[in-house]
Amino acid sequence: MNQKLRSTLMWVFSVIFTLAFVYYQRLTGPTYPVTVKTEIGGQIVKNKLPRTWECGSDAGIILLIPDTSVKGYLQYKRYHSYDVWFEAVMERAGDTLMAFLPDQPAAGKIEYRIFLEHERKRTLLTTETVILRYKGAVPDWILIIHILLIFSAMLFSTRTGLEAISNGKRIIPYTRLTILLLFVGGLILGPVIQKYAFDAFWTGWPISNDLTDNKTAIAFIFWLIAFIQQQRKHKYRLWVIIASVVLVIIFLIPHSMWGSELNYMEQ
């Protein structure tokens, strides 16, 4: 196989691999809506329950339930608090049932569950409570650039790892680009987004245990080590492969896990 074809195949693999992780993060992240499906009154109903909301307004919980004989009840309390469950009757507006969760400060969380009632029989909509976190508004352009840079870092990390495995000649420039993308996307724009959303630039170690901040720092450190080893010309291909694997492991961790959380116990 000639060098050009091999490089093309490695790029194709890297792109597909990165897109697979984009999809994986979309499915597993704790901030994306929960899709629920249940049978009530002889009909299958499918809805999405929010898990994130911008501060400044009550979070709307809206269900499409065409059967007007079905009633809904929303139970909620502040997450990790001494609160007792509060129940609100969901209001009907045509085909929908709706209720609202009270607004919270940034990083405040509310756990909630929904019961649907038909012919005096209640059905729990979810097997587990849903956790909704409030956050400040983040400018769309910052989010878009951050996401593009982070997944570009994943793309070049994969490609650099393959270059190291195949003993290619572009290991050093690809490493530099990977580090740059991680630094700007993760260590610069990441804290900026944190500040907008939760009024803190950094909530990882040693300040707190925010997994998103910590895993970004770990990925950057491993790639920095790989770059330093390249300058020393000491087992640098091995370190590039290790750094690539570390980034894959980090991307397997759902985004925003162990994220910023308001401590209601101290209030």
C-alpha span between 60 and 259 (Å, rounded): 22
Confidence bin at 258 (pLDDT 50/70/90): low
The pair of structure tokens assigned to 26 is 């979309």
| Selection from 39, 241, 76 nearest residue 158 by Cα | 241
Domain with CATH 2.60.40.10 in the chain: 34-135
Question: Out of 2.40.360, 2.40.160, 1.10.3860, 1.20.120, which CATH number does the structure's domain 3-29+138-266 have?
Answer: 1.20.120
Q: What is the per-residue pLDDT for 99?
A: 96
pLDDT over 90 (residue 3):
no
Intervals of CATH 1.20.120 along the chain: 3-29+138-266
Please tell me the class of the 34-135 domain: mainly beta
Report the alpha-carbon angle 235-238-243, nearest 5: 125
Angle formed by the axes of helices 140-165 and 236-252, to 10°?
140
Strands, E assignment, the chain: 34-40, 43-49, 52-54, 59-64, 71-78, 86-89, 91-93, 96-101, 109-118, 121-124, 130-135
Residue with tokens 């004989």: 69
What's the pTM? 0.83
Q: How long, in residues, is the chain?
A: 267
Identity of the amino acid at 267 = Q
Bridge partners of 96, per DSSP, are 64, 93
Q: CB of 24 within 8 A of CB of 38? A: no
In the chain, the percentage of residues whose pLDDT exceeds 90 is: 59
Residue 213's pLDDT is what? 77
Q: Are 165 and 187 in contact (CB under 8 A)?
A: no
**pLDDT class of 267 with cuts at 50, 70, 90:** low
